[in-house]
């Protein structure tokens, strides 16, 4: 579904992503893991069109989208739940969901809101409340639901577990598996490498803007060096 070749992202003179090539197959969860500042968000942001692409190609469903605007990419089928959730705090939960569906017809938006409220019943209970009044976990659910409102072929998720309590993290990862089982393709950025590798089929390890290791998550989980560097001591 997604084929990225020799992606470079630069902020002025600083090259944050260097020659990254990666693939995401339809229906898969693929994870990008790596330490702080490795360039994970820069990769996702370059795919969604909000970070500057210096060079490289991004082919999505057979189309080169690397010159499209962020809005055009949403229409093409790529939606992102950004790092730090970034819900619109002063707007209601429902308004945040409506914004996620801004490029879809009104009837479909209403249907999709129903679907999101079925996924996350708390979003129905708190539909009229300001998004800023939700807990961190609820805001993360809202951020994911807002991304899904675009009915994306590919959902980009940037650290959905960041700062959440273990039970909420568990819930979010189980939800991502449910989405995957429903056919949703997901590119997942996580520092929570263990959980990410449990739900993904393939993983890329990013360090200092480069892919240093890649492989089937099942294999990487058994790799002693990966275990030491990223999975911590159980
Ligand atoms: N808007 C920006 N302007 C300048 N430099 C940036 C910008 N965004 C990121 N960087 C730099 O690019 C590098 C990669 O950052 P990025 O946010 O992509 O890493 P990350 O892997 O997502 O890190 P984290 O785990 O902390 O979210 C870092 O050195 C960072 O300081
Ligand atoms: Mg990041």
Task: pLDDT band for 191, please (50, 70, 90 cuts).
Answer: confident
What was the pLDDT predicted at 234? 38
Is pLDDT above 60 for 46? yes
Q: Whose CA is nearest to atom 22 of ligand 1?
A: 41
Distance of CA 88 to the CA centre of its chain: 18
187 vs 191 pLDDT, higher one: 187
Tell which atom from ligand 1 comes closest to the C-alpha of 51: 1
Q: Which residues surround ligand 2, an ion (CB under 5 A)?
A: 40-41, 83
Contacts of 7 (CB under 8 A, 6+ apart): 17, 19, 20, 21, 43, 46, 53, 55, 56, 57, 58
Q: Judge contact between 24 and 66, C-beta under 8 A.
A: no
What class does CATH assign to 1-77+154-234? alpha beta
Question: Average pLDDT over the chain, rounded to whole?
Answer: 94
For CA atoms 82, 133, 138, 166, give the dihedral sign.
positive
Q: Judge contact between 60 and 24, C-beta under 8 A.
A: no
Is pLDDT above 70 for 232? no
Tell which atom from ligand 1 comes closest to the C-alpha of 44: 18
Pocket of ligand 1 (CB under 6 A): 11, 14, 16, 34, 36-42, 83, 191
Q: pLDDT, tens digit, for every residue of 116-150?
A: 999 999 999 999 999 999 999 999 999 999 999 99
Residue 130 DSSP label: B
Is this model's pTM higher than 0.85 or not? Answer: yes
**Domain ranges for the chain:** 1-77+154-234, 87-151
Tell which atom from ligand 1 comes closest to the C-alpha of 43: 18
């Amino acid at each position: 579904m997604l084929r990225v070749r020799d992606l470079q992202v630069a902020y002025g003179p600083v090259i944050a992503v260097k020659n990254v090539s990666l693939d995401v197959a339809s229906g898969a969860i693929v994870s990008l893991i790596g330490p702080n500042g490795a360039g994970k968000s820069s990769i996702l942001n370059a795919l969604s069109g909000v970070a500057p692409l210096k060079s490289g190609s991004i082919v999505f469903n057979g189309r080169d989208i690397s010159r499209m605007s962020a809005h055009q990419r949403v229409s093409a089928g790529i939606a992102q739940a950004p790092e730090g959730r970034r819900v619109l705090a002063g707007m209601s939960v429902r308004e945040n969901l409506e914004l996620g569906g801004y490029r879809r017809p009104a009837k479909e938006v209403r249907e999709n809101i129903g679907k999101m409220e079925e996924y996350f019943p708390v979003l129905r209970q708190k539909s009229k409340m300001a998004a800023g009044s939700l807990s961190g976990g609820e805001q993360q659910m809202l951020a994911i639901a807002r991304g899904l409102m675009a009915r994306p072929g590919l959902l980009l998720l940037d650290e959905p577990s960041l700062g959440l309590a273990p039970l909420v993290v568990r819930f979010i990862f189980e939800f991502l598996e449910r989405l995957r089982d429903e056919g949703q393709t997901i590119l997942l950025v996580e520092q929570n490498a263990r959980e990410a590798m449990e739900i993904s089929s393939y993983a890329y390890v990013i360090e200092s803007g480069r892919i240093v290791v890649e492989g089937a998550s099942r294999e990487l989980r058994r790799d002693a060096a990966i275990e030491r560097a990223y999975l911590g001591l159980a």
